[in-house]
Amino acid sequence: MRRRRRRSRSCTPTAASCGTSPPGCWPRGAAPQADAGLVRTGALLHDIGVYRLYDDAGQLDHAQYLRHGVLGHELLAADGLPETVCHFASCHTGVGLTRDDITRGDLPLPPGDYVARTVGERLVMYADKFHSKSHPPSFVTADAYRGYVRRFGADKAARFDELTAEFGVPDLATLAARHGMTVRGG
């Protein structure tokens, strides 16, 4: 669980700094209309569903990882958090999953559209793409993620490019130095 906490802590400044970034992280003012407090909350909680995928021995059920967003939404809702917070969990997988994606891919998710609806949700989803799911955690370049997401269709790579145009590309070297991480990809 330590790995997930570290990733959430590094995603938070990656996302939250977008609108008020210190020099060298995000292009200044990339999302000024985003509610910084809500973005910070969403960045901290968006991966909470992963905890429900660990067994008693501390092993992650990788086969069910795709479900972590929906599980997180359920967990946050059960704790009484507002939908504006819960939706950060269910909409951040990939660049969003549609009902059609779920049906075509026979994905283990309830039918629905799990897509970011607000600038804050899009920002957290986008910032999350720059974080590896590996150990030790590292930052992933935009080119590396674009290559990865292209496997799921040209439309997914195009969606990532739209997010890149909306928010810009963070200075991963600065973020990596700040968080004691590396940058991989190319």
> What does pLDDT average to over the chain?
87
pLDDT at 13: 52
pLDDT tens digits along 81-116: 999 999 999 999 999 999 999 999 999 999 999 999
- Spatial neighbors of 184 by CB under 8 A, at least 6 apart, are 132, 138, 139, 140, 141, 144
Better pLDDT: 34 or 128: 128
Domain of 84: which CATH number? 1.10.3210
Give me the sign of the Cα torsion angle 99, 153, 128, 4: positive
Decide: 83 and 56 in contact? Cβ < 8 Å: no
- In this prediction, residue 35 has a pLDDT band, given cuts at 50, 70 and 90, of confident
At 87, which amino acid appears? H
Gap between the Cα atoms of 97 and 163, Å rounded: 15
**Domain residue limits at 102:** 2-184
Q: CA-to-CA distance for 164 and 26, rounded, in angstroms? A: 11
Per the structure, how many domains does the chain have? 1
Tokens representing 135 are: 């150990």
Q: Dump strand ranges (E) for 1-121.
A: none
The pLDDT value recorded for residue 21 is 45
> What is d(CA 5, CA 63) in angstroms, rounded to the nearest whole number?
21
DSSP state of 55: -
Please state, in angstroms and rounded to a whole number, the distance separating the CA atoms of residues 115 and 99.
Answer: 10
Q: What pLDDT, on the 0 to 100 scale, is given for residue 186?
A: 58
CA distance 90 to 64: 14
